[in-house]
Amino acid sequence: MTELIKELPEVFEEFAQQRKNSFLALKKIKEQEIPVIGAYCTYFPREIAMAMGAVTVGLCSTSDETIPDAEKDLPKNLCPLIKSSYGFAVTDKCPFFYFSDVVVGETTCDGKKKMYEYMEDFKKVFLMELPNTQNESALQLWKSEIIRFKEYLEHEFNTVITEDAIRKSIKIENQARLALKKLYAVMKNDPAPIKGHDLWKVLYGSGFKFDRQQIPTEVNALTTKIEKEYAEGKMEKKKPRILITGCPIGGAPEKVIQAIEDNGGIVVTFENCSGAKSIDKLVDENNPDVYDALARRYLNIGCSVMTPNPKRLDLLDRLIDEYKVDGVVEMTLQACHTYNVETLAIRRFINEKKGLPYIHVETDYSQADIGQLNTRLTAFLEML
């Protein structure tokens, strides 16, 4: 448990190291014969796996270490997130993938769909048919997929997943989301109380906490300490307030956060996966149909794979106002076609509807463009 008496830098570093620290923890979990379900996407309804007592873990890889291995099978001009994920899987260099009994995929982008086909050669993969729109018929399809996932787990692990167990898991996850929402809400203060990169360490690291019931206690304690120190006058200097949107930003792409904050800005909110997008909405605990409740919550996530995608604009609109944002940085990965094509809509929305400056930076998992990122983002921040 994270104690209040620890200094904030130490607490942030603990969360930053959570992913690595969880490698050994997962080995112990496997030794206890507890099922491990790996997943790659924010649309993954983890409450179903939790309801059978399984541990869930995120599998998206975060460095370019295994991309050369992936390129033996995959095109070089493919999204680096996909190549990294496949590379760590096929080389068995990712302990989370290695210990996963089942990997859950989803039909988001075309590249990931094909990756899952190849992955089935060496790992059990359950592919969920995610609709690419958010109307009522799509909702019914997604609900049926969640039920199909539940039935698959029951058959695969010879167990029964009850609706009461699902309701319990929903409550646990909702409490974790509420705690994380309360944490990132501290950035509504101006000047900001902490660096955006430190906030990101907690948001990202919390995804690797296997005991989900511990998250509210640890995160609420951290929020209390931040608020106490802010009241005592400990805070960041007043700087241009930046919102980051776009592709998943954990690992190598964190260089964009660093470039903003090294050059005079402060990142006050993240719309990306693992940021507000993944924890903004709760599951309706009063809905008597648990599968409908889960389907509605997850399908409402505003990802660029959706067409049309008003949910993303709705969230951006609210975050910009609530966090008093001065400018928006959109980070996309090379060959991530859905997000790259959608940059036009986002730029128009930010410039024309919100009247704010916007910059789009496209990058990959290498460190080769750090100089260029610093130059472009410095110029953007100076304009603010």
Judging by beta carbons within 10 Å of its beta carbon (0-12, 13-18, 19+), is residue 88 exposed, middle or buried? buried
pLDDT at 66: 95
pLDDT at 215: 96
pLDDT at 33: 95
Q: How many CB atoms lie within 10 A of CB 335?
A: 19
Alpha carbons 61 and 94: distance in angstroms, whole number: 8
pLDDT tens-digit series, residues 254-313:
999 999 999 999 999 999 998 999 999 999 999 999 999 999 999 999 999 999 999 999
Alpha carbons 301 and 296: distance in angstroms, whole number: 9
Domain that holds residue 208: 1-384
Sign of CA dihedral 204, 206, 212, 216: negative
Per-residue burial over 166-186, b if 16 or more Cβ lie within 10 Å, else e, is bbebbebbbbbbbbbebbbeb
CA distances from 119 to 39, 113, 114, 123, 309 (A): 13, 10, 9, 6, 29
Contact predicate 79/40, CB 8 Å:
no
Q: Which residues pair with residue 37 across a beta bridge? A: 56, 102
- 218, two tokens: 């640890």
Alpha carbons 274 and 270: distance in angstroms, whole number: 8
pLDDT at 61: 80
pLDDT at 178: 98
Per-residue burial over 289-322, b if 16 or more Cβ lie within 10 Å, else e, is ebbbbbbbbbbebbbbbbeebebbbebbeebbee
DSSP β-ladder status, 125-128 and 266-270: unpaired
Q: DSSP labels for 213-254?
A: GGHHHHHHHHHHHHHHHHHTT--PPP--EEEEEES--SSGGG
> Which single residue is written with the structure tokens 């130490």?
10
Tens of pLDDT along the chain (384 residues) come to 444 457 899 988 888 888 888 888 999 999 999 999 999 999 999 999 999 999 999 997 889 999 999 999 999 999 999 999 999 999 999 999 999 999 999 999 999 999 999 999 999 999 999 999 999 999 999 999 999 999 999 999 999 999 999 999 999 999 999 999 999 999 999 999 999 999 999 999 999 999 999 999 999 999 999 999 999 999 999 999 999 999 999 899 999 999 999 999 999 999 999 899 999 999 999 999 999 999 999 999 999 999 999 999 999 999 999 999 999 999 999 999 999 999 999 999 999 999 999 999 999 999 999 999 999 999 999 999
pLDDT at 21: 85
pLDDT at 20: 83
In this structure, what CATH number is given to the domain that contains residue 221?
A: 3.40.50.11900
Q: Which residues pair with residue 243 across a beta bridge? A: 269, 328
Alpha carbons 326 and 356: distance in angstroms, whole number: 7
Number of domains in the chain: 1
Judging by beta carbons within 10 Å of its beta carbon (0-12, 13-18, 19+), is residue 370 exposed, middle or buried? middle
Per-residue burial over 107-118, b if 16 or more Cβ lie within 10 Å, else e, is bbbebbeebbee
pLDDT at 3: 45
Alpha carbons 88 and 73: distance in angstroms, whole number: 13
